[in-house]
Amino acid sequence: MENLNKYIEHTLLKQDAAEADLIKLFDEAKEYKFLGVCVNPCYVKLAKENLQESGVKIVTVVGFPLGANTTETKIFETINAIRDGADEIDMVINVTKLKDRQNEYIVDEIRQIKAACQGRNLKVIIETDLLTKDEIKLASELCIKGGADFVKTSTGFVKGGVGAKAQDVKLMYETVKNAGLQVKASGGIRDKETALAMIEAGATRLGTSSGVKIVG
């Protein structure tokens, strides 16, 4: 696949990442012409400084990694990130609320954060490692109702979790495709074979820290 780089959000979300690691990430994103980078909120300004006029999107995370922040906190994070230069927002769903079938809470939270995005793409991380197939389908349906632009598999932070699985990506894609939403696969995508399997299953974005290896 010739344009695999245009699916990749080159990602660095580790707690112990040094600023030098982030600069390296930005340089690689420019060199390989990745679609975007995904960094923690406190590094959005740094990304903006390093990626100006590069065409590389700046993506950041909200309510990360647990999703258990209050809606008000997630909204504040979103507004703050956009002010700092974020092009897209990846928010984590409240998994407990989902499992308790507090569907309106989930939908309302997505709606409010989407409004705070001011027209920018909102991706909703549903954390597939913690969900049954029925819950994956439900979460994807709630993302449609909330007005999200993407449904995303994983944070990559679930202990013992696999991350993105092709069968889950396919289920998500089949659930949201007619509503016009897209799927971002993330977590555990470390080689070209896995990346291609995710795209085959319906993903249009790949969140990975192995982008250079994948396209190399």
Please report, for the domain that includes residue 81, its CATH number. 3.20.20.70
pLDDT in tens, 115-146: 999 999 999 999 999 999 999 999 999 999 99
pLDDT of residue 26: 98
Of 122, 40, 112, nearest to 75 by C-alpha is 112
The question of whether 152 is a catalytic residue gets the answer: yes
Residue 81 scores a pLDDT above 80: yes
Distance of CA 144 to the CA centre of its chain: 16
Tell if the pTM clears 0.85, that is, is over it. Answer: yes
High-pLDDT (> 90) share of the chain, % = 99
Measure the CA–CA gap between 109 and 117, rounded to whole angstroms.
12
Cα–Cα distance, 44 to 67 (Å, whole number): 19
Q: Which of 57, 114, 165, 184 is catalytic?
A: 184
3-state SS assignment for residue 183 = strand
- Mean pLDDT along residues 108-118: 98
Q: What is the pLDDT of residue 2?
A: 76
Task: Specify the number of domains making up the chain.
Answer: 1
Q: Is 27 a catalytic residue?
A: no
Query: Which residue range is the domain that position 70 belongs to?
Result: 4-215
The answer to whether 90 is a known catalytic residue is yes
The one-letter code for the residue type at 24 is K
Question: Please, what is the average pLDDT of the chain?
Answer: 97
**Amino acid code (one letter) for 177:** K
Strands (E), the chain: 8-12, 36-39, 57-62, 88-92, 121-125, 150-152, 182-186, 205-208
Which of these is catalytic: 114, 152, 165, 168?
152
Question: Which of 87, 90, 129, 168 is flagged as catalytic?
Answer: 90
Judge whether 208 and 32 are in contact, CB under 8 Å: no
